[in-house]
Structure 1
Amino acid sequence: MEKQFTLRKNEDFKRVYKKSKHYYNRDFTVLVKNNGVNRPRIGFSISKKVGKAHQRNKLKRRLRSIVYNNYRYINNVDIIIIPKKHTTDFTYDKLKSSLGHVLNKAFKEKKINYVK
């Protein structure tokens, strides 16, 4: 994913954590905040509780792939995706459907089907 589409600075993460809407399902927590930029910016927050480094990296690579294939459907928001501990055992398709479910809940107000 290109750098312009990622949240990288700690201040950006803090701003989203403080002033965002939270959306949940049993597998993910998603924080969404308008950003005033004409592109989405996406960050991942994966705790050490999720697993060892190779498990977290594999999960992050899969999530980046899912988001990269579908980011063109949204604009003007900062998103932080926080997976739960048991998501390291999921297949790619299960991750895609679960993340799609919570993101569709988040963007229901905008009438966007995020993951197709």
Structure 2
Amino acid sequence: MRKEYRVKSEREFQDVFNSGKSMANKQFVIYTLTKPGQDHFRVGISVSKKMGNAVKRNKIKRLIRSSIQELSSSLKNDVDFIIIARQPTSTMNYQEVLSSLKHVLSLSHLFINKS
């Protein structure tokens, strides 16, 4: 995922946490902040040290990034969102992560309405 599609700085993370809305399922929490006029969505990923060592955390982040990349064409452009992985994701495979992310993203109304 290219740099312009990522929320990177602590300040940007805090803006989304403090001003955004949250939605969750058992595997993920998503904070969203609408940014009118933005050319494309931006995503930040957070995986706690409680999830495991660096290898395990990086694997979870790769699965999430890959899932977001697959869903990117159907996501709204004018939004920043943060994905926080919860404990069950440490044992999930790609298809389970993708399915769970689709669920929580639809709860957050981040998909483009194609009607």
Q: TM-score scaled to structure 1, two decimals?
A: 0.90
| Aligned equivalent of 2:104, options 97, 102, 105 | 102
Work out the CA distance in 2 between the residues paired with 1:85 and 1:25.
12
Please tell me whether the aligned partners of residues 51 and 85 of structure 1 are also in contact (alpha carbons under 8 angstroms): no
What is the correspondence of 1:69-80 to structure 2 with a 5 Å cutoff? 69-73=70-74, 74-80=76-82
**For residue 41 of structure 1, what is the aligned residue in structure 2?**
42
Report the CA distance between 1:111 and its aligned residue.
3.4
Aligned mates of 1:64, 1:45 — CA distance in 2: 11
Counterpart in the other structure of 1:82: 84
Say whether the 8 Å CA contact 1:23–1:30 is kept in structure 2. yes
Q: Percent identity?
A: 32
Q: Which residue does 2:27 correspond to in 1?
A: 27
Question: How many aligned residue pairs are there?
Answer: 112
1:29 Cα shift? 0.3
> For residues 12-54 of structure 1, what are the alpha-carbon distances to aligned partners after superposition, in whole Å with 9 as ceiling and x for unaligned?
0010010111011111100010123221000001111111111
Cα drift, residue 100 of structure 1: 0.7
Which stretch has the larger CA shift, 103-112 or 28-37? 103-112
> Cα RMSD (Å) of the superposition?
1.6
Displacement of 1:91 = 1.0
- Gaps of at least 5 residues in structure 1 are none
Q: What SS does the corresponding residue of 2:81 show, helix, strand or coil?
A: strand
Residue aligning to 1:60: 61
Q: Which runs of 4+ in 1 moved over 6 A?
A: none
- Name the CA distance, whole Å, in 2 between partners of 1:60 and 1:38: 24
TM-superposed CA distance for 1:68, in Å, is 1.1
Structure 1 equivalent of residue 52 of structure 2: 51
Instruction: State the TM-score, normalized to the length of structure 2.
Output: 0.90
